[in-house]
């Protein structure tokens, strides 16, 4: 591992952060914190922290010795000076005299001595930073170090590699007890350049930002070099089916099996998003004969329990063409996992005297022999984090096994991290948006109504896939929503394109729960004279397009077995023909019937089918030119045409999006048509 320190970058940091009032040492503290945070071999998703001891003045102009320490939950890769809140150092040091500090008091301490009471809470590892004297302290959960110390002989290996340069602290849960234990190890030999925290990570110290950082790089490099020596062959492969099923077939089955009924509302499911990963290293791991032992041994560092739970779900290899068997076996594996998790909770909750709130029992990592691994989360971002951690663990465990035998902290220690009271408080306070965990696919999402609908569903907490025949338009609208939104090129008049589009949605999120079949276009012509080719073209898009999309969605929804929701943009033309608009209205009328047919045929599977009849929305379909033509056909001015309804209000794409959203949330409604047209008695349904 190479140092990424560059003098020019360091000077730049001093200049940039100095301009907003940061001292040179704080600016360099920020700079090397970013260097650590940007290397996933050192720091993953909040797993590390750094600090600086310096002087700062409060609002009274009085100077204090302070510890600037990484704020809890801050991302080291993008941290700025505000992400390292200053805490008065003396009271923290005095705390060392205490015998113990409860978790509740630890929470108070985190905020009690902040120089700025509006600053973020400092890291829970703050006291360890405070109890050693060095100006700069760096802490990571570097993979290579974990590969060395996550072993029964971790202490001997650490001594072999580091000698007396690093102190060795036996495992304790992060918090006051660990900080005290670490300080005692340090006091026993104050010449150490850092500390190894058994089964957890590494600290390095320095008089300057560069010294502490480059010590970290040096120590991790020594671990990397040791891991290259005396490696034995690992991970002999178990036997696999001759042909393994595709991810797009397997993911909905697993996603459905891991969805739990929402106890409060009939028909509601607590769903998760999936993130699939594969590589040669992952395959060697998941295909290994030893997978149950090595994956079941526990986490590589304790804070991973919050993201991945203590162990993954392992399912049988899915043989191609035998998905019914796989569905049965995977369902059983999930049920066993849940029962095991409940027993783990009950055992350990009793051990700590009760009172913990059980987290949801679904796995956060699934190992699929023959395919790879899957991270799960209530959002796509959380699923990615779980997958990142699981992928990283594959490498760490492989290294540990190659030079010895992988060993994690025990079950009780994992529980104490997973169910650490401050995490429980966060959980109790958190509220989720109404569509958390759900995947929505919107066709025609490059257009006005489709894009507004995708935005409305994303704002309600769903993950959204934007499908459009115009890939560029879908991409632009997806980017505007955020990094979790997916753009998919999809032509709904082409069965293969629909199939490929939905496969991509499934590969990305694991399945689909709500489909807004919105793609459409208008053709005009007097029905007695119109060319049959025009009518067929319109049917291809405005009827068969909806049918293809609905069919693709139903296939996935049935594999998941957790119901679903099909929503169709039908248009008021389906019930109220406009002059010379037959080529558009006729297939839309057939689509209105299609909605009802899906409601009838799939109600027993919990799949709802509803439609929105919208009218006169400015969009790619209803362009200014088109509005001109239609208003002339009706003998009205353009303005009167657009707000020519009972409420005399122009109806917008956002109004239509809200109607789709309501239909998605109405779990007891199917076969419904919602009219969004400002009021038009001639088009009213009866
Ligand atoms: Zn740590």
Distance of CA 268 to the CA centre of its chain: 21
Rg (CA), the chain: 30
Asked if 257 contacts 331 with a C-beta cutoff of 8 angstroms, the reply is: yes
Asked if 385 contacts 307 with a C-beta cutoff of 8 angstroms, the reply is: yes
Q: DSSP state, 157?
A: H
The neighbouring-strand residues paired with 167 are: 195
| pLDDT at site 85 | 96
- 67 φ, ψ (degrees, to nearest 5): -110, 115
- 314 φ, ψ (degrees, to nearest 5): -115, 125
Has 509 been annotated as catalytic? no
Distance 47 CA to ligand 1 centre (A): 6
Residue-wise pLDDT tens digits, 315-333: 999 999 999 999 999 999 9
Q: pTM of the predicted model, to two decimals?
A: 0.93
Residues of the chain below pLDDT 70:
621, 686
Q: In what order do the strands lie in the sheet with 313-314?
A: 273-277, 372-377, 365-368, 313-314
Distance 142 CA to ligand 1 centre (A): 10
Distance 128 CA to ligand 1 centre (A): 10
Distance 388 CA to ligand 1 centre (A): 17
Rounded Cα–Cα distance for residues 12 and 625 (Å): 54
Distance 175 CA to ligand 1 centre (A): 10
| pLDDT at site 625 | 86
Rounded Cα–Cα distance for residues 653 and 658 (Å): 9
DSSP for 313-341 reads EE----BTT-HHHHHHHHHHHHHHHHHHH
Residue-wise pLDDT tens digits, 93-131: 999 999 999 888 888 888 999 999 899 999 889 999 999
Of the residues 31, 406, 509, 584, only one is catalytic, namely 584
Rounded Cα–Cα distance for residues 480 and 359 (Å): 33
Rounded Cα–Cα distance for residues 15 and 21 (Å): 10
| pLDDT at site 107 | 85
What are the distances in angstroms from CA 95 to CA 100, 105, 172, 180? 9, 11, 18, 10
Distance 197 CA to ligand 1 centre (A): 8
Distance 321 CA to ligand 1 centre (A): 45
SS3 percent helix, strand, coil of the chain, rounded to 5, is: 50, 15, 35
Distance 141 CA to ligand 1 centre (A): 6
| pLDDT at site 214 | 98
Asked if 287 contacts 546 with a C-beta cutoff of 8 angstroms, the reply is: no
Asked if 272 contacts 437 with a C-beta cutoff of 8 angstroms, the reply is: yes
What are the distances in angstroms from CA 382 to CA 251, 379, 518? 17, 5, 29
Distance 200 CA to ligand 1 centre (A): 6
Distance 434 CA to ligand 1 centre (A): 34
Long-range contacts of 33-36 (CB under 8 A, 24+ apart): 33/70, 33/76, 33/79, 33/84, 34/76, 34/77, 34/78, 34/79, 35/4, 35/5, 35/213, 36/76, 36/138, 36/140, 36/213, 36/216
Asked if 440 contacts 485 with a C-beta cutoff of 8 angstroms, the reply is: no
Place of tokens 């940091």: 13
| pLDDT at site 635 | 87
């Amino acid at each position: 591992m190479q140092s990424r320190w560059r003098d020019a970058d360091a000077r730049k940091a001093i200049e940039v952060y100095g301009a907003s009032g940061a001292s040179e040492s704080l600016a360099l503290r920020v700079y090397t914190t970013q260097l650590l945070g940007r290397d996933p071999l050192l720091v993953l998703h909040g797993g590390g922290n750094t600090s600086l001891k310096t002087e700062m003045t409060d609002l009274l102009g009085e100077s204090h010795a302070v510890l600037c320490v990484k704020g809890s939950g801050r991302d080291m890769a993008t941290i700025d000076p505000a992400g390292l809140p200053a805490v008065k150092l003396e009271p923290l040091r005095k705390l060392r005299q205490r015998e113990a500090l409860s978790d509740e008091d630890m929470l108070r301490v985190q905020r009690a001595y902040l120089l700025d009471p509006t600053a973020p809470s400092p890291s829970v590892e703050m006291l360890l930073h405070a109890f050693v004297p060095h100006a700069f302290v760096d802490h990571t959960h570097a993979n290579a170090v974990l590969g060395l110390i996550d072993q029964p002989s971790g202490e001997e290996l650490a001594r072999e590699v580091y000698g007396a340069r690093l102190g060795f602290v036996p495992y304790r849960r992060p918090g006051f007890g660990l900080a005290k234990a670490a300080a005692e190890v340090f006091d026993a030999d104050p010449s150490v350049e850092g500390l190894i925290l058994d089964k957890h990570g590494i600290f390095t110290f320095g008089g300057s930002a560069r010294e502490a950082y480059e010590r970290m790089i040096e120590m991790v490099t020594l671990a990397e070099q040791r891991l290259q020596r005396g490696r034995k062959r690992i991970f002999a492969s178990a036997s696999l089916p001759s042909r393994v099923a595709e991810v797009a077939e397997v993911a909905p089955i697993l996603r459905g099996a891991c969805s739990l009924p929402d106890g409060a509302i009939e028909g509601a499911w607590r769903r998760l998003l999936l993130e699939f990963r594969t590589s040669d290293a992952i395959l060697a791991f998941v295909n290994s004969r030893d997978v149950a032992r090595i994956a079941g041994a526990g986490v590589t560092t304790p804070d991973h329990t919050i993201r991945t739970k203590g162990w993954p779900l392992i399912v049988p290899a899915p043989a191609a063409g035998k998905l019914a068997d796989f569905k049965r076996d995977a369902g059983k594996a999930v049920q066993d996992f849940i029962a095991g998790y409940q027993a783990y909770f009950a055992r350990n909750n009793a051990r700590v005297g009760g009172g913990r709130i059980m987290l949801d029992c679904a796995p956060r990592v699934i190992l699929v022999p023959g395919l790879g691994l899957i991270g799960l989360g209530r959002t796509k971002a959380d699923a990615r984090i779980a997958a990142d951690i699981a992928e990283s663990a594959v490498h760490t465990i492989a290294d540990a096994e190659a030079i010895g035998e992988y060993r994690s902290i025990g079950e009780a220690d994992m529980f104490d991290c997973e169910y650490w009271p401050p995490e429980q408080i966060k959980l109790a306070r958190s509220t989720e948006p109404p569509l958390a965990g759900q995947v929505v696919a919107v066709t025609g999402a490059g257009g006005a109504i489709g894009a507004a609908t995708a935005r409305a569903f994303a704002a309600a907490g769903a993950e959204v896939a934007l499908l459009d025949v115009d890939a560029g338009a879908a991409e632009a609208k997806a980017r505007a929503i955020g990094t979790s939104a997916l753009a998919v090129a999809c032509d709904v008049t082409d069965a293969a394109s629909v199939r490929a589009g939905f496969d991509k949605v499934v590969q990305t999120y694991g399945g689909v729960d709500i489909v807004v079949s919105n793609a459409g276009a208008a053709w005009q012509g007097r029905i007695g004279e119109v060319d049959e080719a025009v009518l067929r073209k319109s049917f291809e898009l405005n009827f068969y397009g909806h049918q293809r999309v609905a069919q693709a969605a139903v296939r996935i929804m049935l594999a998941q077995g957790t119901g679903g929701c099909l929503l169709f943009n039908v248009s008021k033309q389906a019930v109220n023909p406009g002059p010379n608009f037959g080529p558009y209205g006729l297939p839309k009328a057939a689509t209105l019937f299609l909605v009802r047919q899906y409601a009838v045929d799939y109600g027993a599977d919990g799949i709802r089918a509803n439609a929105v009849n919208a009218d006169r929305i400015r969009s790619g379909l209803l362009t200014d030119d088109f509005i001109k033509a239609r208003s002339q056909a009706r003998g009205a001015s353009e303005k009167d045409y657009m707000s020519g309804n009972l409420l005399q209000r122009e109806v917008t794409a956002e109004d239509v999006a809200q109607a789709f959203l309501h239909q998605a949330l109405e779990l007891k409604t199917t076969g419904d048509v919602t009219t969004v047209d400002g009021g038009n008695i001639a088009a009213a349904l009866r």
